[in-house]
Each structure stands twice: as C-alpha cells, then as structure tokens.
Structure 1
Amino acid sequence: MKILDILTQESIIPELKGRTKRQVLEELIDAMLQHKPQMDRERLMGVLLDRERLGSTGIGDGIAIPHGKIKDLDQLILSFGRSTQGVDFESMDGKPVHLFFLLVAPESCAGIHLRALAKIARLLKNNSVRKQLGNVTGKDEIFAVIRQEDEDF
C-alpha cells in the first residue's frame, strides 16, 4: 500500500490555521470532506475526540496521526496538514506538533488500518522527510515530497 493510494492533493493543507487540537481536527476533516463529502462531519469529530481521550495521537518529533473508524465508509481516506507555528496536541514528548496525518478507516478493516498507520509513522520518523515537509510551501510541493518518499519505501 502506498500513502498516495489514500491521500489526494485536495486533502492537503499547507498551513493549518487552528491553534487547538479541536481546531486542527476540524480543518483536517474539512480537507477530507473535499474528497468524501458524504461523510458525517460531527460523527467523525466524535470518533476522533473519543480516540484522543484514550491517549494523544501525537507520537512525538512534531508528528500526530489522529485516526478513527467510521461505519459505512468504503475505503481508507487520509488528509495532511502542516503547522509551521506548531500546535499543542498533548504529544507524548510534550512538544508542539507540526505535521498531521488524519486517517479514517472503515469500521470493519482493522488490518489495513494498522498497516496504514505504520506506513505513515515510518515515513515521518525519517528526519529528512520531516525537514522537507517543513520547508516546502504549497500543496504541489508537499504532494511531491510524499510521492518521492512513498516510492522509496
């Protein structure tokens, strides 16, 4: 599986405006709705906030991968956002988060959901990738960085 199998260019936010966890999740959901407008925004927000209550999806190194499962979804979907200023996402290392991937999966497919999470985490654990994503500016450039790294995996 490739990240670009589930991430569209329309679902990329080069500069998040939100300064709180909820605001960032709202923006990432809205980006996702560009591709899947039939999704229930409020239900998805509830699922994501429930998951965050179990423990932050801020995994450290300026990365967060909020995720959840939704009934009646037919495929994995992904959005990406970047905050150059950083957002307090209650990350494991206590540092602000700059790079966000929001992953939503069908309720019935745990295996592929976990593989996608692992793939995203591996990609973002690479310091060079994080720096590149922090330095580029537009959707096209962000998409190109992800595409290049996606092919290298």
Structure 2
Amino acid sequence: MGRINIIGFLQPEDIIPDLTSDQKDQVLAELAAKVEERNPGLNRAELCKILQERERLGSTGIGDGVAIPHGKVKNAKELVLVFGRSLAGVDFNSLDGRPAQLFFLLVAPDEAVGIHLKMLARISRILKDPATRKRLLDAADAAAIYNVIREQDSCY
C-alpha cells in the first residue's frame, strides 16, 4: 500500500477552524455534520452513534490537546477526514486529563483495516510535535491550518 498522506484525504473545505461546541458529544456532532456536508452519502446521526459507541470503549483523546475520534461506516466508499479546532478546548476525557483543542475525525469503510490504522498512526506522528500543535492553534483560518498540515505531512 505504501505511504499514506493526510493531504490525499483532506481539503481546506474539510476544516472547521472554530468549533462552537464545548461538550464532547456536541463536538462529535459538529464534526459529523461537516462529514455529511462534504460526503452526502454519509449520515450525520448514524455517524454520531458510531463515534459515541467508539468513545464508550475508551476516549480517543490521546493527550497534548489532541483527539482523533474515528469509526467505521458501512456505506463509506473511502477514507474520510475532517479537522476541527477549539481554541477554548473541550473536556474529551483525554488520557492526560487536559482539554482537547485539535480534532481529526477519521471515518473508514467497514472493510478498511490497514489504511485506517496507517492514517491514525500518521496523524498521531504529526501531532506529537509541540511546535506543529502550536502552529495549528495559532493559524488564522482554515487555509492556514491546511498549509501547516500539508507542510508537516510532506516531512514524514
């Protein structure tokens, strides 16, 4: 399968620079709404249910202000990514107890295993860097956020 790039699945239109939600379930719903808007075949309500079930297994808040909610959806044709940012931060039951500010929502087709795991690993690797996280928080808008992600995506 080779190397997988975030930018192959994320466009500036897939980015919410200022999430309005301040609760975990609302953030999931806001991100799911963006998925539905950008991928009309996918249903927001069904996606919310899948994401909430996944969160019950354990928080996808990986710490350092980062959360990567994800789930598998039967009628997804390919991997779908959206990115959201909450400058205020949201309690996401993260591993380190800190609020999450940077969210990558990943939706994969039911049968996709390898690509799904590779993308999770790639996102984690890029967001491990404190300087990258700071640049994402400081970015002025969706286009600037996209440029930071694109730049980091090409480094690894």
CA distance in 1, matches of 2:111, 2:12: 26
Residue among 110, 129, 133 paired with 1:130: 133
Residue 142 of structure 2 corresponds to which residue in structure 1?
A: 139
C-alpha root-mean-square deviation of aligned residues, in Å? 0.7
Alignment partner of 1:19 is 2:22: yes
**How many residues are matched?**
153
Q: Classify the secondary structure of the residue corresponding to 2:13.
A: strand
1:37 Cα offset (Å): 1.4
CA distance in 1, matches of 2:37, 2:44: 12
Residue among 97, 116, 125 paired with 2:119: 116
1:74 Cα offset (Å): 1.0
TM-score normalised by the chain length of structure 1 = 0.98
CA distance in 1, matches of 2:92, 2:30: 14
Q: Classify the secondary structure of the residue corresponding to 2:95.
A: coil
Q: Partner letter of residue 128 of structure 1?
A: A
Q: Classify the secondary structure of the residue corresponding to 1:34.
A: helix
1:123 Cα offset (Å): 0.6
Residue 38 of structure 1 corresponds to which residue in structure 2?
A: 41
Correspondence list, 1:40-55, <5 A = 40-55=43-58
Q: Partner letter of residue 72 of structure 2?
A: K
Runs of 4 or more above 4 Å deviation: none
Residue 76 of structure 2 corresponds to which residue in structure 1?
A: 73
Residue 3 of structure 1 corresponds to which residue in structure 2?
A: 6
CA distance in 1, matches of 2:36, 2:43: 9
Q: Partner letter of residue 119 of structure 1?
A: R
Q: Could you report, residue by residue, the CA deviation over 1:6-65 in whole angstroms, capped at 9, with x for unpaired residues?
A: 112111000110000111111111112232012011111110000000000000000000
Q: Partner letter of residue 155 of structure 2?
A: D
Contact 1:80 1:101 in 2 (8 A): yes
Q: Classify the secondary structure of the residue corresponding to 2:86.
A: strand
TM-score normalised by the chain length of structure 2 = 0.96
CA distance in 2, matches of 1:71, 1:51: 15
